[in-house]
Structure 1
């Protein structure tokens, strides 16, 4: 069995972090290392280090500017720490994700060079009074409709790179090195996951959907489309276009356009933010 490290990024959501830690403690296989990467959140580091299993904390500073969290560089920092500690199997879990009882064991037994293994992520409803109970999560959670959910014991190879996401996945240290990690030019919401998957494909690394490695995504409020991340989506989307020749997150961009938040300049294939009209302005109808 390879030496495993679970890598989680956190900035806030301390309750979500605590339940993830509880899930790891209750698992059939505990990771050899639990690495929590904090982004301007010293309290999260103290909580994680004092919990069970105790976390190795890596602090990544981030600017106070509204650009967003440096998620790509934080994942890279967590991976570096895991490799330095001798981990062979790198398991990335979003702070909102609680692993199932056998998730870590399933990742550890399946991981091999040349693949990114993605377990199914299922979404939980708002927590009941008193919070979630680990035993109830498999019954409460609903699998994501747009991604494969193989039966336990099955692996589906040849997955679509554009469906990869970093909420829950595992790979070997060697394969991580071959890919080169996430592009750290991405800051804030959007783009870095698909970019990473395309880097993997360019390095000859595939995406595989792994049955029996569930992650239960704890509820938090979201907006559709995520208008609060509009600036980051436009900035990261343009970076992605420069690197790969096409725009990611096209569904969000088209919905923003429908709502009058952006417009598409076809001649240059750029998306431009639409500024609201000043209050009191009007258009004369002659």
Structure 2
């Protein structure tokens, strides 16, 4: 099976991208690699001669992550890829990630496949041989034994995230890719999952397809993304009739930053 690993990246994550390249070269040297750079201009020296590199510049409201992944998928399919593995730039692939996604795709060719993700601590810089010993999958999502798969229940589609997932080209085309309404942070992965559920595409939890999220500073709720969350949340509401990211919206509201007006969330007036 011809496999492509697809990553979108920006200059802000250059160190994470370079580390991902190193690990991918060690654990999956035979895959096709497609990277999409999302900055307004391609940073000097960031291209890798072994990688198909594309450029999708930002829109008026921020980085176009979904559009970048769509471009990567189209390029990989044009190269003859038979399995698309989407790996966030922050994530390192486990040694069995490609094998487990490949096996799961053979058993569930019409499914959206999702493996577990371990969040590394700030001090952790594991080598390839160390990764099995730091595996601690995020507890909010199913983590099955290696080699096991399970079709998600309808209510579990909200648990899908785009840090690590895979699909055959036929499934990807059935989904239609990421919706282009989203720019900046938030909602595009939930939108893809809801599209899958609406179109009858199974979401399959894939044991052993472990990825490892490299540490970077975060805030909870993510104040730096407040306007993105309001804008993308409104776009999601227009498509699906509900607001995503409810926990963050409630936290912003509790802090007095936003308020509900009818069916909308808006910034609260300032004194």
Does TM-score exceed 0.5, indicating one fold?
yes
Q: What is the alpha-carbon distance in structure 2 between the residues aligned to residue 35 and residue 87 of structure 1?
A: 11
Q: Residue 80 in 1 paired to residue 80 in 2? A: no
The alpha carbon displacement at 1:146 in A equals 0.4
- How many residues get paired? 265
> Alignment partner for residue 242 of structure 1, among 238, 247, 250?
238
Q: What is the alpha-carbon distance in structure 1 between the residues aligned to residue 250 and residue 24 of structure 2?
A: 39
> Alignment partner for residue 122 of structure 1, among 110, 118, 123?
118
The alpha carbon displacement at 1:22 in A equals 1.5
> Which runs of 5 or more structure 1 residues have no equivalent in the other structure?
278-286
Q: What is the alpha-carbon distance in structure 1 between the residues aligned to residue 16 and residue 200 of structure 2?
A: 35
Q: Residue 39 in 1 paired to residue 38 in 2? A: yes
Deviations 1:221-262 (A, max 9, x none): 000000111111011111111100111000000010111111
Q: What is the alpha-carbon distance in structure 2 between the residues aligned to residue 31 and residue 200 of structure 1?
A: 29
Instruction: Name the residue aligned to 1:26.
Output: 26
Q: What is the alpha-carbon distance in structure 2 between the residues aligned to residue 225 and residue 246 of structure 1?
A: 20
Instruction: Name the residue aligned to 2:128.
Output: 134
Instruction: Name the residue aligned to 1:220.
Output: 216
Contact 2:112–2:166, Cα closer than 8 Å, also in 1: yes
> Please, what TM-score do these two structures have when normalized by structure 1?
0.88
Instruction: Name the residue aligned to 2:173.
Output: 177
- 3-state SS, counterpart of residue 77 of structure 2: helix
- 3-state SS, counterpart of residue 19 of structure 2: helix
Instruction: Name the residue aligned to 1:270.
Output: 264
> Please, what TM-score do these two structures have when normalized by structure 2?
0.93
Q: What is the alpha-carbon distance in structure 2 between the residues aligned to residue 136 and residue 246 of structure 1?
A: 42
- 3-state SS, counterpart of residue 84 of structure 2: strand
The alpha carbon displacement at 1:141 in A equals 4.5
CA RMSD, 1 decimal: 1.6
Deviations 1:49-106 (A, max 9, x none): 14xxx2110111224x4x2211111111111111111101000000000001111121
* Structure having the higher Rg: 1
Contact 1:125–1:140, Cα closer than 8 Å, also in 2: no
Question: Which residues in structure 2 correspond to 1:98-117 (within 5 Å)?
Answer: 98-111=92-105, 112-117=108-113
The alpha carbon displacement at 1:217 in A equals 0.3
> Which runs of 5 or more structure 2 residues have no equivalent in the other structure?
none
The alpha carbon displacement at 1:139 in A equals 2.5
Deviations 1:30-63 (A, max 9, x none): 353100000125237x43414xxx2110111224
Contact 2:179–2:188, Cα closer than 8 Å, also in 1: yes
Instruction: Name the residue aligned to 2:184.
Output: 188
